[in-house]
Structure 1
Amino acid sequence: MTSEPVSPAVPFERNRWTFSVGTLGRDMVYALVSLYLIVFITEVLNASDTFVWWAGWLILGARLFDAVMDIVMGSIVDNTRSRWGHYKPWITIGAVASAVCTLLLFTDLGLPDTQYVAAFALLYLFWGLTWTMNDIPYWALLPALTLDQKQRERIGALTKIFATIGLFSVVVAIIPVTGALGGDTRAWFLFTAAVVTIMLAGQVVTLVGVREPRLAAEQPKVTLRGLWRVVTGNDQLLWTAVAMVLFMTGYVTTTSFGVYFFKYAYRDEGMYTPFGAVLGIAQLTGFLVFPLFRRRFSRRALYTGATAMVVAGYLVFFFSPMNMIWIGAAGLLLFIGQSFIVVLMLVFLTDCIEYGHWKLRRRNAAVTFALQPFINKVGAALGTQIVSVVVVLSGINSAATPDDVSAEGLLMMKVAMLVLPLILIVAGYLVYRAKYRIDEARYSQIVAELAARGELTDDHR
């Protein structure tokens, strides 16, 4: 776990694989909390409308507060000086602490609504803060491994493959596994314990396996005033963040409605698992073929094509009959296109580190890359809040059976699941086209100028 330059004994491929493996369990935990905590509350605990209403707003507030704390955590990581480097101490502390908080979130505390709301608020806030301790340094480690755009894309694609396996293993397994275990709170706790164990094992692989090169000269510690300048002075970072928040809000909103759609609209909750498997395969396929398409097309062309696929997928889904052939085809379009956009936005964000270094004359990788989890949390917060409000207003939460949900309630869910996300994702693409300026040629020029200024080390080559 020492921070040392990459040498021939520690090749790029080792860093690439050991870093990527760490996302497997992390994304299992994140999927469990971001997609299924609200399902656990409404379908397993059978919480009242009042509790669901307040829980939704508490989740929104906690995530937005935690998203702001991401930036602060980024500065803490950048200011960290240890024998293990900037990142690994916080990755370790955050992994263990967030594992404990995740287990507590999926535990029936046996409290009355009023007390449970207060306890839930504190637990969720602690979960967000401890997750931040792990999330910020983990993702900041990626751009610290190389300055080469192609290598970053290779790491990003492999990372997202493992992340997708983790995410969709939860999507596919959670209903049948918890059902086989009894479907009660104990079953969900056991499932959560297994997921948390996998996360901790993956983090050990990253901590032991990754060797961090020294890409740039050591930077002075960032102050609060400097922190503000790092974020607001990087215009490309801010526009990337806007585009990503719009995309992630749309994406999380759609996926969070999955269980409700198949239970109340499709009327066969059992089909959620095979549908999730199809989407997982689609997303994995997208990550696997991304490097092949990248050899022939520019990033801008790939983003345009991927957005067109996503738009087509939403339109097919909205107008399709309740038939798995049509719904499955829509899912393939949506998630193959989405996989390309996820990788592209990840590398857009990494390139903003060098842009900020070039423009502001200081390198703050963790602060800059803190925008990634910030974006994910804001998107997840808004998406979850949309779901919690809609399941109450549509009558879904209070419905004893699918037959008790009105046609108007189902239409409300369908619009929130498919129309609103489509608008948000297209808006994110338009922001990117209008404002993002770091293409391949511009990035090469930025790195060359940083090297000429003596602000990079020999390890960056």
Structure 2
Amino acid sequence: MKHVKQYTSYALGAFGHDAFYATLSTYLMIFITSQIFDTSNKAFNSHMIYMVSTMMMVIRIIEIAFDPMIGGAVDNTDTRWGKFKPWLMTGATISSIMLIIIFTDFGGLTTSNPTLYLVLFGLTYVVLDIFYSFKDISFWSMLPALSTEEDVRAKFGTIGRLGSTIGAQAVPIAIVPLVVWFSSIFSGAKNGTETHAGWVGFAVVIAAVSFLGALATTLGTKESKTLIREDTEKTSVIGIFKALGKNDQLMWLAVSYFFFALGYVVTNSLLLYYFTYVMGAAKQFTYAGWLMAILGVISVSLFPTIVAKVHRKAIYVGGIVMMIIGYAVFLFAGTNSVAVMIAIAIFFFPYPMIFLAALMTITDAVEYGQWKNGTRNESVTLAVRPLIDKLAGAFANGIVALAAVHSGMVGAAKAGGVSAHQLMVFKSFMFYAPVILIVIAALIYFFKVSLTEDRHKKIVAELEKKLRAKKDEEEKTAEN
């Protein structure tokens, strides 16, 4: 293939990027609830978990307001390496270092000086979140810059999502074996016991993978140069928010995707709790990871064929219907391992396709905004998807903390210690509420998002014709 080197480089970057995101959005909270605050004082444990989860949620919500400005900073960058790569590598380096630090107890401060621990945790999380945002926005906003052709862009999006799917699912596959192995190496733990040091070792691995993936993308991709991409100008802070607000298709997609992402992330984040405290089979979680990885590869690989036949709207809405069926199977699965795996398969299989449908709609909104408003904002537009994921992740962290505490799934709790009432509370968090959220997402996308593939092609053709005529006129004027 013509772009095989770039496809591979982009996929490697996506692999490391989503391994990092899965660790930060899902497993950091598990580390905090099961390892950091596992003292004999249950009231202290619950209080500190609430404090940390609230802090994470507040920091992310506040920082999210700056994401469009981060996108604007990337858009306004002009270097010999392009606009994206300097931010990609800076963000990857600093966020990787901060990830390792945040997976520690800061030298025992969690018990010796809890207040100082909260201060240092908060500062570390702020730095991590800001530079992760630079990395996230610069990486995914490269997509419309790699090509304006619908088929090539779809291939970049597909191969990128393939890498990110494998990266995200590699974490549940590897987390338990890695944490146990590092616990044995650094702490001398036996019989599958997990220790703080084991989790730190795991964080080092993820940080290295994230950094190396960003390096691969930096060295192996190249921005395209076209008339459409050249029609850009620096955007002010006010202009950034105006550009977003006037792009109605981007805004409707954003609302729909937020409800979808929140429902999915909450369920996905509570999955390990289900295996650990409901089934009493934490080690089987690795098999779930393998299952999701295999299905993710299949799902992403099928996307180009399916989207060519039924288009994005059918994939987005139909995929959500399939996920609802998965929820129904989950409710009847109980602790039966086979039934649980079937439920996971039905629930997870459409997720990568839904993500791709949303991502390609947002990507096409770059040209839609340029056509409608007269300005092209690549990173500002593509910043919306990371912004939504982080917002959903922030709320999900708080929800997961509430679910863990109110369901008695913290510290050294065991599967047999969860009461029927606590199990019902847990299912409300993991199943019932997320179903409502994703149904709302499907309805909004179906009735409000009208930026189809065919409409985008017409917009691109119209832009090219207009800009070519403008360039010809400028050349004639220069000659005279």
* TM-score interval, smaller chain: over 0.9
Task: Calculate the TM-score normalised by the size of structure 2.
Answer: 0.90
> What residue is the counterpart of 1:207 in the other structure?
218
- Residue 122 of structure 1: CA displacement? 1.2
Contact 1:101 1:127 in 2 (8 A): yes
Contact 1:230 1:356 in 2 (8 A): yes
Higher Rg of the two aligned structures: 2
Query: Which has the larger displacement, 10-19 or 400-409?
Result: 10-19
Q: Is 1:425 matched up with 2:426?
A: no
Which of 358, 363, 381 lines up with 1:350 in the alignment? 363
> What residue is the counterpart of 2:179 in the other structure?
178
Q: Is 1:58 matched up with 2:55?
A: yes
Contact 2:144 2:363 in 1 (8 A): yes
Query: Which has the larger displacement, 446-455 or 335-344?
Result: 446-455
- Residue 406 of structure 1: CA displacement? 1.6
Gaps of 5+ in 2: 39-44, 184-193, 472-480
CA offset digits 1:68-114 (Å, max 9, x no partner): 22111001011111111111111111111111111111122111222
Give SS of 1:108's match. Answer: coil
- Residue 245 of structure 1: CA displacement? 0.7
Matched residue type, 1:54: M
1:141-290 correspondence runs (5 A): 141-182=142-183, 183-215=194-226, 216-290=229-303
CA spacing shift, 1:302–1:400, aligned 2, 3 Å: closer
Q: What CA distance in whole angstroms lies between the structure 1 residues aligned with 2:63 and 2:158?
A: 27
Contact 1:450 1:456 in 2 (8 A): no
Q: Is 1:308 matched up with 2:321?
A: yes
Moved over 3 A (4+): 455-458
> What residue is the counterpart of 1:379 in the other structure?
392
Q: What CA distance in whole angstroms lies between the structure 2 residues aligned with 1:371 and 1:213?
A: 22
- Residue 195 of structure 1: CA displacement? 1.5
Q: What CA distance in whole angstroms lies between the structure 2 residues aligned with 1:403 and 1:326?
A: 20
CA spacing shift, 1:441–1:400, aligned 2, 3 Å: closer
Q: What CA distance in whole angstroms lies between the structure 2 residues aligned with 1:149 and 1:416?
A: 39
> What residue is the counterpart of 1:123 in the other structure?
124
> What residue is the counterpart of 1:7 in the other structure?
none
- Residue 150 of structure 1: CA displacement? 2.1
CA spacing shift, 1:201–1:309, aligned 2, 3 Å: same
1:374-413 correspondence runs (5 A): 374-397=387-410, 400-413=413-426
Q: Is 1:336 matched up with 2:349?
A: yes
Give SS of 1:322's match. Answer: coil
Task: Calculate the TM-score normalised by the size of structure 1.
Answer: 0.94
Gaps of 5+ in 1: 1-9
Q: Is 1:28 matched up with 2:41?
A: no
> What residue is the counterpart of 1:6 in the other structure?
none
> What residue is the counterpart of 2:186 in the other structure?
none
Contact 1:15 1:210 in 2 (8 A): yes
> What residue is the counterpart of 2:93 in the other structure?
96
CA offset digits 1:371-413 (Å, max 9, x no partner): 0110110111111111011111222226633333221111111
CA spacing shift, 1:243–1:457, aligned 2, 3 Å: farther
What is the root-mean-square deviation of aligned Cα atoms in Å?
1.7
Matched residue type, 2:159: L
CA spacing shift, 1:406–1:143, aligned 2, 3 Å: same
- Residue 191 of structure 1: CA displacement? 1.3
- Residue 444 of structure 1: CA displacement? 1.4
Matched residue type, 2:69: V
